[in-house]
Amino acid sequence: MYMISPQFIRDFLTQNFSDIGRLSANDREFIMESPFIKNDYKKHCSVNVDSGLWQCFKTGRNGNFVSLYSHLQGIPYFRAQKELIIKNFAYLGKPVPLGVMPEEKKLELDTSKLIPLNMASGFSDDPAILAAWSILYERKLFTENEEKKAQYFLCTEGKFANRIIIPFLRDGIVFYFQARAIGDQKPKYLNPSTEIAPKSSDVLYPYYDEHDLLVVCEGPLDAISFQLQGMNATATMKNIVSPRQAEMLATFDGDIVLAFDNDSAGERGFEAFDRLRKERLMDEFFVCKPPSGYKDWNEAHQNGVDLMHHLEDNIKLYDFKYKMHNQVNLL
């Protein structure tokens, strides 16, 4: 990547973040409140204004100036790259040279090989379309409500053939997807290659930032089930929250409810996130399991359970009392 001007870095930080930081005595470092710690009055984050490299001494996080800018502005890394290049050359009073702007990697999905899946797909004569439609229909994942409607596709060729594509959309653009088998293919779920997409541990299923509650599930179909019932939900693609996903969740202003599956792995996921959020000085969180007799939230949804009502009645703060009660139940 093109080197960002040290003077631009210095002026950007001093002009925009003087309320939470200051230049060091030698003007080489910008000492500021860490974006990874709430109310970091001791200012644990240091930015080298010559190189743009930064480090949070409390959490151990570090990186280049693009990653810091991404966190401070709350935007994806690729967008942060482009914005910084444009702002840097504007600051220098020069046009952006050809070949400097990074090219966005495209996901390995050929839209000509994708068939949209909706309620009308149930009238198809194609066995693969009918099989994919049946999976979604039986799980009650279709709706006529445009605001709640999720998108699904059947891939017909290539690596993801005979799989349901569940796209992750941001501003109408697919930035990630998960491919679910419609038959006996193994593995059941496939993710795009990390050569052209983020790692699964670096993304969350799309949710609303402006909300007072966020339900964090294991899989996208669980999150979609909550969304179809009018709740704000996301998914981690596994039974654990990664460090990068924890950073994204830390920017959410409302309450977080971990709603993993009804198994011991889900309980271990609660424990792992509790350790992670303590390391990053995040607020306490809530937990909730699917109703007894259902392995996950989509199964409860397809059987007519009111997920919001169940959540309201069974949500618990993940604290010492919860952990002790759970240990007693496991004995």
**Where does residue 49 rank: exposed (0-12), middle (13-18), buried (19+ CB within 10 A)?**
buried
**Which of 29-38, 200-209, 210-219, 244-253 is predicted with the least confidence, judged by mean pLDDT?**
244-253
Q: Residues 6 or more apart from 279 whose CB is under 8 A from it? A: 59
> How far, in Å, CA of 226 to CA of 170, rounded?
19
Give me the residue spans of the domains in the chain: 6-92, 105-198, 201-331
According to the 3-state scheme, what is the secondary structure of the chain?
CCCCCHHHHHHHHHHHCCCCEEECCCCCEEEECCCCCCCCCCCCEEEECCCCCEEECCCCCEECHHHHHHHHHCCCHHHHHHHHHHHHHHHHCCCCCCCCCCCCCCCCCCHHHEEECCHHHHHCCCHHHHHHHHHHHHCCCCCCCCCCCCCCEEECCHHHCCEEEEEEEECCEEEEEEEEECCCCCCCEECCCCCCCCCHHHCCCCCCCCCCEEEEECCHHHHHHHHHCCCCEEECCCCCCCHHHHHHHHCCCCEEEECCCCCHHHHHHHHHHHHHHHHCCCCCCEECCCCCCCCCHHHHHHCCCCHHHHHHHHCEECCHHHHHHHHHHHC
117 exposed, middle or buried (CB, 10 Å; 0-12, 13-18, 19+)? buried
**What one-letter code names the amino acid at 259?**
A
Residue 328 has pLDDT above 50, yes or no: no
Provide the pLDDT for residue 331: 43
Residue 144 has a pLDDT of 82
> Where residue 285 falls among pLDDT bands split at 50, 70, 90?
very high
Q: For 259-276, what is the mean pLDDT? A: 91
Whether the Cβ atoms of residue 17 and residue 7 lie closer than 8 Å to each other: no
Interval 133-189: pLDDT, tens: 999 999 999 998 877 788 999 999 888 999 999 999 877 778 889 999 998 889 999
Q: What is the pLDDT of residue 330?
A: 45
Q: Is 92 exposed, middle or buried (0-12, 13-18, 19+ CB in 10 A)?
A: exposed
CATH class entry, domain 201-331: alpha beta
Instruction: Report the pLDDT value the prediction gives residue 24, as an integer from 0 to 100.
Output: 94
What are the tens digits of pLDDT across the range 97-136?
887 777 655 565 666 789 999 999 999 999 999 999 999 9
CA gap 317, 270 in Å, rounded? 11
Q: 6-92: which CATH architecture?
A: Alpha-Beta Complex (3.90)
Q: Average model confidence (pLDDT) for the chain?
A: 88
Cα(90)–Cα(88) distance, rounded to whole angstroms? 5
How far apart, in whole angstroms, are the C-alpha atoms of residue 272 and residue 185? 30
Residue whose C-alpha is closest to residue 50's, from 109, 108, 8, 97: 8
CB 34 within 8 A of CB 58: yes
Which of 71-80, 97-106, 210-219 is predicted with the least confidence, judged by mean pLDDT?
97-106
Q: What is the reported pTM?
A: 0.73
So what's the pLDDT on residue 131? 96
Highest-scoring range by mean pLDDT, 27-36, 69-78, 128-137, 249-258: 128-137
Tokens in use for 174? 């697919």
Better-scored residue on pLDDT, 261 or 80: 261
